[in-house]
């Protein structure tokens, strides 16, 4: 009995001590996160400084106020991230900052889409119009990194470094065989010859129509990629193509021989060049500030009249959604509030989305349509504005996209997983039901495949949604549904191609869209306000705490593989009919 009581007492004490330690550890995390996520005062920039831009971190569409981002504590290092909006703002502010004399650009692996990349590159080009310099250096340039670096006044690479230049490729992960082994059948109902979002789940390779569309938009992006490098480096496009086709650049020496870089030097030698440029003694350090730390405030506008920039990015979902996706209810509520706000004279809807729920897309479309009747609304497209992303854009007064934006993908599909083999044969789990009508149990039994009659019912529903999608685009663009259908069928286009087809009005970035909105609203003086407005990071965290923690740790531990898990989760977890582009397009 004494031994038993001793063990019980030891267990209780152990639980109390463990709980106490856990509380201290969690308190430490929260205090650290609060300190790191709290807005700091404007950092004083020393005279004769350089702005250091590496872009070796996650780039989001809009800066996210997540307390776990950039968190650095023992045992956990947060995912460093910055919004594209802040990148552009800070480059623009540095252009006017007398203490910033130039930019030291050190890109290696840049994880963002080509449209965002192109926007950053244009911002760097604009920075150079101030007469300030940009020097680029890296041990290894990926193709995206070199695309950015090519805008610099001088480009340097480590003598033993790498510069990748082989042409672009698009890669897709196919999972049919994995599903077969698991005993899961993905039942698909769709509209659109090119609507290949379902292919990773029902095939082990690309269909011919899918290869055709990927080849088309990939070459469109490649042409822009080559033209921009050609202009900056004074190299002929045909020469660039030939160099890529021969894989002629395999080391730093090759890069120098073909005029891709201005020198093969070590980092200390580049810093020496920078010191000479800044007229700094070689024994002294270069005053510098990183892009993440540069928090100079812009001029405060006293104007009451404003142009609202509403950010809608990520997959489109029913309900509220989270900060990193487009919740149909949340974004439509924001649009409604902006429509009713007398100080808001025009709205720019910034869309960066591969699509998602067709119903949520319709909910947002309705608010765009109603807003257009009250005040100008202009769409600015980011890396993606495809399928549901195009659906919510179609009703706007004007649509602007980058040349490399992926848009269109006008088509819909539904996926209904059948887990019969997995449940019955592998796990020994069975379902049974009693019903009052022929279709009463339709979709409730995950082990019951759809009958032909049930498939026909789902197909009718998908067809109706597609017809509605066509009509929304036809009404918004002032063309017939038949014309939209000829450009639709789920086919993806680049922004450049979409302008030629009439799906997009013109090529232009967010600034161009804001300028167009100001013209439509007859505004000369105005301030720009971002929406949804930033909230306190901890209030948003406690609303969806477990989701935030799971998301933060998944990104931290799984890195690039996390997106494949997310794709699988979406495929088996989403319900309803989807207006979504073909998977997540990765271009290398």
How many beta carbons lie within 10 A of that of residue 228, not counting itself?
21
Query: CB under 8 Å to 500, separation ≥6 — which residues?
Result: none
Residue of 150, 332, 387, 540 marked catalytic: 387
Residue of 95, 101, 190, 195 marked catalytic: 195
Separation CA 548–CA 150 (nearest Å): 38
3-state secondary structure of 353: strand
Residue 486, sorted as left (phi over 0), alpha (psi -120 to 50) or beta, turns out to be alpha
Name the residue among 360, 367, 312 with its Cα closest to residue 339: 367
Catalytic, 38? Answer no
3-state secondary structure of 587: strand
Separation CA 423–CA 531 (nearest Å): 45
Catalytic, 150? Answer no
Query: CB under 8 Å to 283, separation ≥6 — which residues?
Result: none
Angle between helical axes of 328-340 and 358-374 (0-180°, round to 10): 0
Buried b (16+ CB within 10 A) or exposed e, 301-334: eeeebbbbbbbbbbbbbbeebbbebbbbebbbeb
Separation CA 190–CA 463 (nearest Å): 8
Name the residue among 251, 79, 59, 258 with its Cα closest to residue 144: 59
Would you please indicate which residues are annotated as catalytic (active-site) residues?
Answer: 195, 387
């Amino acid at each position: 009995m004494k031994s038993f009581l001793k063990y019980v007492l030891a267990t209780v004490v152990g639980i109390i001590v463990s709980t106490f330690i856990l509380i201290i550890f969690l308190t430490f995390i929260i205090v650290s996160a609060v300190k790191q996520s709290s807005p700091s005062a404007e950092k004083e920039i020393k005279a004769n400084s350089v702005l250091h831009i590496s872009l070796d971190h996650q780039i989001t569409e809009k800066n996210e106020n997540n307390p776990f981002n950039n968190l650095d504590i023992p045992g956990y290092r947060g995912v460093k991230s910055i919004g594209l909006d802040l990148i552009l703002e800070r480059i623009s502010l540095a252009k006017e900052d007398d203490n910033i004399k130039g930019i030291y650009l050190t890109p290696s692996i840049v994880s963002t889409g080509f449209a965002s990349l192109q926007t950053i590159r244009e911002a760097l080009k604009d920075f150079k119009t101030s007469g300030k310099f940009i020097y680029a250096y890296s041990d290894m340039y990926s193709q995206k990194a070199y695309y950015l670096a090519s805008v610099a006044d001088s480009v340097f690479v480590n003598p033993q470094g790498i510069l990748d230049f082989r042409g672009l490729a698009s890669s897709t992960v196919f999972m049919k065989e994995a599903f077969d082994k698991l005993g899961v059948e993905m039942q698909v109902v769709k509209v659109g010859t090119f609507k290949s979002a379902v292919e990773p789940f029902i095939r082990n390779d690309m269909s011919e129509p899918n290869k055709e569309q990927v080849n088309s938009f990939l070459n469109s992006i490649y042409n822009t990629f080559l033209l921009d490098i050609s202009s900056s480096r004074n190299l002929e496009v045909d020469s660039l193509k030939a160099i890529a086709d021969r894989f002629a650049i395999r080391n730093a020496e090759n890069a120098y021989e073909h005029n891709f870089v201005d020198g093969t030097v070590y980092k200390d030698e580049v810093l020496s060049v920078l010191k000479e440029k800044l007229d700094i003694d070689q024994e002294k350090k270069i005053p510098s500030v990183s892009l993440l730390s540069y928090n100079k405030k812009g001029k405060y506008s006293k104007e009451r009249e404003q142009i609202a920039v509403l950010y809608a990015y990520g997959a489109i979902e029913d309900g509220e959604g989270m900060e990193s996706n487009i919740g149909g209810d949340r974004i439509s509520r924001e649009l409604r509030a902006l429509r009713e706000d007398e100080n808001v004279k025009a709205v720019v809807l910034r869309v960066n989305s591969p699509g998602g729920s067709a119903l949520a897309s319709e909910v947002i479309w309705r608010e765009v349509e109603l807003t257009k009747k009250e005040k100008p609304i202009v769409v600015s497209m980011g890396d993606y504005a495809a399928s549901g992303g195009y659906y919510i854009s179609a009703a706007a007064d004007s649509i602007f996209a980058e040349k490399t934006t992926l848009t269109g993908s006008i088509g819909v599909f539904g996926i209904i997983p059948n887990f019969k083999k997995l449940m019955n044969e592998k796990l020994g789990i069975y379902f049974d039901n009693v019903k009052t009508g022929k279709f009463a149990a339709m979709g409730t039994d995950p082990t019951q495949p759809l009958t032909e009659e049930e498939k026909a019912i789902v197909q009718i529903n998908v067809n109706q949604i597609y017809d509605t999608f066509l009509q929304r685009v036809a009404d918004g663009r002032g063309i017939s549904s038949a014309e939209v259908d000829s450009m639709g069928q789920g086919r993806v286009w680049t922004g450049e191609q979409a302008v030629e087809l009439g799906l997009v009005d013109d090529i232009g970035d967010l600034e161009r869209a804001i300028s167009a909105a100001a013209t439509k609203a007859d505004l000369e003086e105005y301030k720009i306000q971002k929406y949804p407005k930033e909230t306190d990071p901890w209030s948003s965290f406690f609303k969806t705490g477990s989701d935030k923690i799971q998301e933060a740790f998944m990104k931290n531990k799984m890195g690039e593989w996390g997106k494949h898990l997310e794709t699988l989760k979406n495929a088996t977890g989403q319900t309803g009919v989807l207006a979504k582009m073909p998977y997540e397009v990765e271009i290398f």
